[in-house]
Structure 1
Amino acid sequence: MCRLGQSIHLRPKKEPSKLEMKMRMMLIIPAHVIMLVYLSVSGAEDTVNVLDEVKALRAEFEGLKSTCQASHVAFTAVLRPSNPDKDGFGNTGPFSQETTLIHSRALTNVGDAYDPASGIFTAPVKGVYYFTFTTYAWAKEADIGVSLYKNHQQVLLVWEFQDKGDNEDFASNSATLLLEKGDTVYMRLPSGLQVTSNQNTNLSTFSGFLLFPM
């Protein structure tokens, strides 16, 4: 207990030794290192996640881009006679076996899905397509007609017997088809039947286009 008049002496605060400073730094540094490592790992994981999302979006965009480009599909092709007469007319058939009709003159072929060399349309994407065809015949006492095929299966057929007094006719038909990518559609001439075409006039035609992709 202090008496009046006595001076009070305060002990000066002891400075930490070098050893204590090292110990304190050893405790502080690992905490900073741990925090930096955590932030680095967390940031790396976030970066990986962002890159994965960017790759997924890019792949989705490329898929949509391909579908959009492939969805522009439309064609019209015309049948030409192999041996036209002086007026440009000529018959195809009759043959002993069913034969693919090759409409070799492509008036329109957006998307290049129709092959004028083979007469075959190949679906570039899955979707609903519309096909139509018109055939012309000029022959007396003959069987005329054509058929529409999808993947080796007959879808439509038009047929008529031309008698003596009826030697000129047109026939048309159409179909809406659900096609998978790679499905084929084409025209066939049944055995024993024939059709007429002209070298200069578009009489017998085959057309199709994509209504919408699926």
Structure 2
Amino acid sequence: MIHSFRDAARTREKQSVDHPNRSDQPTEMAGKKIMFTAVADQGGNFGPFEAETTVVYNKVITNIGNAYDGTSGIFKAPVAGYYYFTFFYHAGENSKSALKLMKSDSCIVEAFDKNATTADNAGNAAFLQLNENDQVYVRLSPDNRIWASGYTTTFSGFLVSGM
């Protein structure tokens, strides 16, 4: 059987109609996309603190759909769906570091380094099923610190598909 380029184009066109939420493109819900990337830029070390502290990623790079609040550090799901989140950080020498990705006060994944003798980078990621208004954020564990200057400590997320 011989297929032409035109046949392939028709097949992709048909697949796009049948499956509009392709994984290589952000999902649109009610005509808008939901995605964000923000950087913690606090001028240097963030922490240590006596209690768990929400990391505020105050330098917002992208916030399509306005679901991320750069003053609180909290992402609030505008629609129910399946989302993907990542966080990465840098910790300087002589710094214990531990961050947790939180969903409404429950730890989903974490990244940490208890060897405080060298500078390190770490991160983690997760797919989450969220209901409308669920909150996702990153917390710094007590007595830990991260580097919050420049573009090394980031938090990102996007809607993969609706429910």
Where does residue 78 of structure 1 map in the other structure? Answer: 39
Q: CA RMSD in A?
A: 1.4
Is 2:143 aligned against 1:182?
Answer: no
**Residue in 1 that maps onto 2:59:** 105
Aligned residue-pair number: 136
For the Cα contact (< 8 Å) 1:147–1:154, is it kept in 2?
Answer: yes
Distance between the aligned counterparts of 1:101 and 1:153, measured in 2?
15
Distance (Å, rounded) in 2 between the aligned partners of 1:191 and 1:157: 14
Residues 156-181 of structure 1 deviation map (CA, whole Å, 9 limit, x = unaligned): 111112343x2x11101000000000
Larger fraction in helix: 1
Q: 1:210 aligned to 144, 155, 159, which one?
A: 159
Q: How does 1:32-71 map to 2 (within 5 A)?
A: 67-70=29-32
- Alignment match, 2:46: 92
Question: Normalising by the residue count of structure 1, what TM-score does the alignment of the two structures yield?
Answer: 0.61
SS in 1 for 2:30: helix
Confirm or deny: 8 A CA contact 1:150 1:186 kept in the other structure: yes
Query: How far apart are the structure 1 equivalents of 2:92 and 2:64?
Result: 31
The answer to whether structure 1 residue 130 and structure 2 residue 84 are counterparts is yes
Structure 2 length as normaliser, TM-score? 0.79
1:170 aligns with 2:121: yes
Deviation per residue, 1:46-75 (Å, 9 max, x gap): xxxxxxxxxxxxxxxxxxxx94235x1000
Normalized per residue, the structure richer in strand is 2
Cα distance between partner residues in 2 of 1:96 and 1:145: 13
Structure 1: unaligned runs, 5 residues or longer: 1-65, 85-89
Residue identity opposite 2:102 in structure 1: Y
Q: By how many angstroms is 1:197 displaced?
A: 2.0
Contact 2:82–2:160 under 8 Å retained in 1: yes
1:139–1:162 CA contact under 8 A, matched in 2: no
Percent identity, please: 38
Q: Distance in 2 between matches of 1:80 and 1:162?
A: 24
Matched, 1:196 2:157: no
Q: Tell me the equivalent position of 1:26.
A: none
Quote the residue 2:98 is aligned against.
145
Give the 3-state SS of the residue equivalent to 1:192 in structure 2: coil
Q: Could you tell me how far apart the structure 2 residues matched to 1:160 and 1:67 are?
A: 38
Structure 2 unpaired stretches of 5+:
1-27
Larger-gyration structure (1/2) = 1
> 1:135-189 deviations in whole A, cap 9, x for unaligned?
110121x31121110011111111112343x2x1110100000000010000101
Q: Which runs of 4+ in 1 moved over 3 A?
A: none
